[in-house]
Structures are given as C-alpha cells and as structure tokens.
Amino acid sequence: MAGTLLQLTVNGHPQTVWIQDKTTLLEVLRDGLGFTGTKNGCAVGQCGTCTVWIDGVSRLSCITLARTVEGRTVTTVEGLADWWRERHPEDVYHPLQSAFVAEGAVQCGFCTPGMTMAGAALLQEIPHPDREEIREALGGHLCRCTGYEQIIRAVAAVGDRGKEDVR
Amino acid sequence: MSSRPSFYITRLENWVDLPSSLGTLGAQILAGGTDLVPNLTWELASPTMLVDVMGISELREITIDAEGRWVIGAAVTLSDILHHPVLGAHYPMLVAAVHAVATPEIRAQATLGGNLCVDTRCRFRNQPPIWRSGLDPCFKSDGNRCYAAPKSRECVAILSSDTAPVLIALGAEVAVGGPELRWVEVEALYSGDGHDHLTLGPQEFVRAVRLPRVSPAGVFRKWRDRATMDFPEVDVAVAATLDEGVPRDIRIVVSAVGPAPVRISAAEVLLDSSPWTDAQLERASVMAREAVHPYDNGQLGVIGRQLAVRSLVLDALTALRAALMETGGEQNDLGGRDSREKGQPR
C-alpha cells in the first residue's frame, strides 16, 4: 500500500493525516478528519454535494486525490461561517446560510453543503449575480427534492442586498 | 472507503522526465483527474502508478510562438482558458466548447490535454461495478463482445471530448511529447477503436495544442440531455475562412457519435464548390447524417442522435453563413469556388 503523510489546512487549522495515494480528499475530510458536513453523494463527480473550496475555488472533493492538495487550504461547509466571520465579525453565519433558511431552500439537506459552497463562491466572484449566472454556477449540483427555485432565490436574495458586496 | 485499486502517485516538475516515467508498466498520466478518478472509483481503470503532471510549469502555460500562433499547454485548466483575457476574443468557438464541458467545479480542475484524451464512454461500461457484474466483459473491459453493436469486431465507445471537434475544425495541431517531439493534426490523435482510442505511443503524451495564427470563423453546437453537466450526445463544429467573398478551408466535424470525431468530407467538398443556398446547406446536413453511424451506447438513442446530427449541422452551417456574411459576404448566398472561377455573380 502506498501511503504518505498529508499536510493541509482545513477550515483554518493545519492538519496532518496518514493517507494512501488512492485516497480522495472527500475520504480524508469525512473518514479521516470527521468533517461529515461534506456529503458523499455519487462519489464520481456527478452530483456536486461534496463541493469544498480548495484555495478558495469551488471543487469536487470526491474526484480530487488527496495527494494533489498537499499544502493547500481547504474550506468545508463547517468552516464557511468562520470564514465569513473573520471578515464580518458582526455576523454569526454566512449570509447565504441565513438566506437558505429564510427562503426555505433546505428540504432533506443533502445537497445543501455543496449548494452553499458553490453559491458562496459565486457571490465572491460576482457579488450581484443574475439568475442565469446563478443557474450556471449551480449547474453541477443536484437537488433530488427538486427545490431548485428556492435555492436560486436564496443566492439571488444575498446578491440583491445591495448594501455591500458579499466578499 | 472505495475499493479503488492501489497505486502510487509520482509528481513531476519537468516534462523531460515524463517519457521515462510513462515507460513504467502500468503508468498513466494524472492531470485534472476529473475523468480518471471516477474511473478508478468505479474500477474502470487499474494503473499501478499515476504520474502527476500538474507541477510541470511548461505544461501549464499559454504562450505565443515566434510565428504568432497561440500555444496552450496540455495541463492548462479549462477555467484558465475561459478566464484568459485575450484568447476568447481570438478563438470564440474554442471558448464556447470549453464552456460546454461539464460544470464550473470540473472545469476548474480539468485540463485541455485531459479533455482531448478523455477516455471513451459507453452506457454498457461506464456504470458502477455491481451494475457491470451482470454482464460478461466487453471489448473495452478486455472481453470479446460489444453490447452496443453486437456484430462489431471492435469497441465503439464514444469520444466525449467537446474540444476535439472544435480544434479539428480550427485546424489546430497537437505537440506529442515523448522520446521525440512530433506535431500532428488533432484528427490524427484518434485511432477509431474505442478500446484504445488514442494513437499515442506508450511513452508519448499530449504536450500542447497550437492554434492557427488567424482563426477561421466557426460555430460549435452541442446536444445533450440537460443544458449543463452532461456529456455530449452529438457535437458539431463547422469552420471556414472567407477569401474574397468565397468560403475556403471548410471543415465540418461531427463528434460524440463514435470513438473518433468524423470529418464530413463530402459536405465540405459540396460547400466548397457551390453557393451556400438553403438547399445546399440542407444537402450538406443530410450528408452528415448519412456519414455517421451512432450506436445505442449514448443516453438518447440512435435515431435521436442521427436526427440531431442533421439538425445541428444545418443549424451550425446556417449560423456560420450568417457570420461569414457579416464579415464580408456581399449577397444573400455566399458563392462557392465554381461560381467565382466561372465569373458568375456571387
């Protein structure tokens, strides 16, 4: 078995994990480090619920081999609120998390971690996205409760705040 | 934990070391991994060593060579191409194809070389292991049968690269690295056998893609089940250059209907020698439909894909005609070679 020590930063904290070369980032996060907020839906890059940020970019952890993120910074849904609070100490949650609640964008909740990470990444890049931009950004995310409309509304609601850019 | 087979990962920082690493038995390139890792998870690939090329800086550069041609490194990600400040303005058809690949998350990771070399797919093979356990192995799984085409003597799995047909239509070339560097047309990269669909030697790899100095006008169309994420059921790329009001270097490429993209030569000749009337474009689209033979290995059935070939080719050629006329065509119908040579009005 090809094994190695992997060092990476997850949600602001340095972590060292013993992994095999065949281990995916999703397996490291869920099975190695206990960040089970990141979900394992299809395991082959077709559903989007394993989405995390790698160095701030939205990526699928199920099709990312852990060895390839050596030394990188990973943010999971557990770290999203902390990441936001560092920039906006007055808030408790990322505004998109609050908007998901306000808009009823959560049913079973399985797609929610991926949807929020992708939506928050979009709001970083485009603070006031239009509907098409939201649909494009969430295009790789399946919601089998079919609650897409509320999810799109939640992202749009944050974009519509207008007071400040969501960065 | 998946039952993914075990392998070693070797990370390279210099492409000079790549041929010898690839010479190792069971070695395979790991770039973005967006196709390879799912295949590993579903036990569709069993390399003993993965050679990670994402640390090789030469493979990650977009440059312009001495003759003014854009050269895109094989490990440049698709989102790097989309976000490039200039490339999109020069090669809009390439950007359209790149944008049609998968989803933003996958494009942030997937590479141009990986998209060109993406493994062929078939609905009888690209399934979880438990699904496949009900079938004897097919050609692609080192068996001796094809479920999609029972009379076929070789694998007919589909090439799903969206960039391949576009790069062929553009007349792009690929730098094949290895013991010796060689430049080949993109078309020459594909063998036509779905089991072993690339013509690369065991120590060879795609190093870069070189685009023509001036892009021809081009149109790309992709047909798939959903408007996002899905692999193509049919891809069409058409391109031509206007020369004194006459379309030249016409290329009509249909892809995702077999293991290799198909040039529709008869339709190219037709449109090279006659005016681009509605009727001629219609004829060209019928020729395209007759030239390709999709099997029942996609998601949307044989007849649907055949009809889509005709419809997409017609749509793409109509859009191309409009684009050409905007840049220099004088009349409603663009003239062909014959009309110009015979001095007829265009």
Residue B324 CB contacts under 8 Å (≥ 6 apart), including other chains: B217, B240, B242, B247, B334
Q: Which two tokens stand for residue B162?
A: 């969206």
Q: Inter-axis angle of helices A95-102 and A77-87, to 10 degrees?
A: 120
Residue A131 forms contact with B (CB below 8 Å) = no
Q: Which domain holds residue A99?
A: 79-159
| Long-range contacts of A18-22, Cβ-Cβ distance < 8 Å, separation of 24 or more | A19/A66, A19/A67, A20/B6, A21/A65, A21/A67, A21/B6, A21/B7, A21/B8, A21/B9, A21/B50, A22/A65, A22/B2, A22/B4, A22/B5, A22/B6, A22/B7, A22/B40
Asked, for residue B282, whether it belongs to a domain, the answer is yes
d(Cα B28, Cα A74) in Å, to the nearest integer? Answer: 27
Q: How many residues are listed for chain A in this entry?
A: 167
The pLDDT assigned to B201 comes to 95
The CATH number given to whatever domain includes residue B281 is 3.30.390.50
d(CA B45, CA A117): 30
The CA distance from B306 to the nearest CA of chain A, in Å, is 26
- CA quadruple B108, B110, B115, B120: dihedral positive or negative? negative
In chain A, positions 86-105, which contact chain B (CB-CB < 8 Å)? none
**Does A96 share its domain with A146?**
yes
How many folded domains does chain B comprise? 2
Which residues of chain B does A31 touch, with a Cβ-Cβ cutoff of 8 Å?
1
Cβ of A58 within 8 Å of Cβ of B102? The answer is no
Mutation site for A-interface testing, chosen from B4, B11, B56, B103 by largest number of A Cβ within 10 Å: B103
The residue among A77, A106, A131 that closes a domain is: A77
**Alpha-carbon gap, residue B226 to A139, rounded angstroms:** 10
In a domain, A61, yes or no: yes
Q: For chain B, say whether A24 makes contact (Cβ under 8 Å).
A: yes
Cβ neighbours of A118 in B, within 8 Å: 104-105
Residues B73 and B191 in one domain: yes
CB B186 within 8 A of CB B168: yes
Residue B170's CATH number: 3.30.465.10
Report d(CA B313, CA B281) in Å as an integer: 8
- Cβ distance A21 to B5 less than 8 Å, yes or no, reads no
Among A42, A77, A112, the domain-final residue is: A77
Euclidean distance between CA atoms B88 and A132, whole angstroms: 20
Count of beta carbons in the 10 Å neighbourhood of residue B107:
24
Asked if B30's CB is within 8 angstroms of A65's CB, the reply is: yes
Are the C-beta atoms of residues B321 and B281 closer than 8 Å to each other? yes
Residues A67 and A104 in one domain: no
For each of chain B's 346 residues, which pLDDT tens digit applies? 567 899 999 999 998 999 999 999 999 999 999 999 999 999 999 999 999 999 999 999 999 999 999 999 999 999 999 999 999 999 999 999 999 999 999 999 999 999 999 999 999 999 999 999 999 999 999 999 999 999 999 999 999 999 999 999 999 999 999 999 999 999 999 999 999 999 999 999 999 999 999 999 999 999 999 999 999 999 999 999 999 889 999 999 999 999 999 999 999 999 999 999 999 999 999 999 999 999 999 888 899 999 999 999 999 999 999 999 988 755 445 655 544 443 333 3
* φ, ψ (nearest 5 deg) of residue A58: -65, 120
For chain B, the residues whose C-beta falls within 8 A of a C-beta of chain A are 1-2, 4-9, 11, 30, 33-34, 37-38, 40-42, 50, 52, 54, 102-106, 108-109, 227-229
DSSP string, B180-208: S-EEEEGGGGB-S-STT-B---TT-EEEE
Same domain as B294, residue B172: no
Q: At A69, which CATH number?
A: 3.10.20.30
Residue A96: inside a domain: yes
- Enter the tokens of residue A66: 């852990």
Q: What is the DSSP letter of B267?
A: H
What pLDDT digit, counting tens, does each position of B241-285 carry? 999 889 999 999 999 999 999 999 999 999 999 999 999 999 999
Closest CA to A51 of A62, A60, A63: A60
Domain span at B270: 221-341
Residues A104 and A153 in one domain: yes
Q: Is B154 helix (H, G, I), strand (E, B) or coil?
A: coil
Which one of B5, B52, B105 has the shortest CB-CB distance to A59?
B105
Size of interface A-B (CB pairs under 8 A): 93
Rg (CA), chain B: 21
Backbone angles phi, psi at B306, to 5 degrees: -60, -45
- Considering the domain architecture, whether residues B79 and B204 belong to the same structural domain is answered as yes
**Cross-chain residue pair B105–A31, CB shorter than 8 Å:** no
Contact between chains at B104 and A1 (C-beta distance less than 8 A): no
Distance from chain centroid for Cα A143: 15
- Whole-Å CA distances, B69 to B91, B211, B213, B327: 12, 6, 4, 22
Q: What is the 3-state secondary structure (H, E, C) of A4-30?
A: EEEEEEECCEEEEEEEECCCEHHHHHH
Q: Are residues B225 and B183 in the same domain?
A: no
Co-location of A71 and A16 in the same domain: yes
**C-alpha closest to that of B98 among B66, B72, B69:** B72
Read off the amino acid at residue B4.
Answer: R
Q: Of B149, B184, B210, which residue is a domain's last? A: B210
| Residues B102, B83: Cα–Cα separation, whole Å | 16
Domain membership of residue A24 (yes or no) is yes
B159 lies in the same domain as B294: no
Query: Residue B334 has what pLDDT?
Result: 65
Distance CA B267, CA B290 (A): 11
Same domain, A12 and A34: yes
Residue of chain B whose Cα is closest to the Cα of A30: B1
Q: Report yes or no: B75 and B53 within 8 Å, Cβ to Cβ.
A: yes
A45 and B52: CB-CB below 8 Å? no
Long-range contacts of B195-202 (CB under 8 A, 24+ apart): B195/B120, B195/B139, B195/B140, B195/B154, B195/B155, B195/B157, B197/B119, B197/B120, B197/B157, B197/B159, B197/B259, B197/B260, B198/B117, B200/B117, B200/B176, B202/B22, B202/B23
In this complex, do A59 and B108 lie within 8 Å of one another by their Cβ atoms? yes
ipTM above 0.90, yes or no: yes
Q: Report CB contact under 8 Å: B103, A20.
A: no
Residues B232 and B200 in one domain: no
Instruction: Answer yes or no: do B228 and A140 touch at CB < 8 A.
Output: yes
What is the spatial distance between Cα B104 and Cα B45, in angstroms, rounded to a whole number? 25
Residues A83 and A155 in one domain: yes
**Range A8-31 average pLDDT:** 98
| Residue-level pLDDT at B299 | 86
**Total number of domains in chain A:** 2
Same domain, B66 and B171: yes
Q: Is B257 exposed, middle or buried (0-12, 13-18, 19+ CB in 10 A)?
A: buried
d(CA A53, CA A77): 9
pLDDT at residue number B346: 33
Closest CA to A83 of A62, A70, A71, A97: A97
Please report the pLDDT score of residue A161 as a whole number.
72
Same-domain check for residues A154 and A86: yes
Q: Do A137 and B8 touch (CB under 8 A)?
A: no
Integer Cα distance of B307 and B159 in angstroms: 19
Report which DSSP code applies to B120: P
Could you tell me which chain A residue has the CA closest to the CA of B50?
A21
> Which pLDDT value is given to residue A19?
97
The whole-number pLDDT of residue A3 equals 84
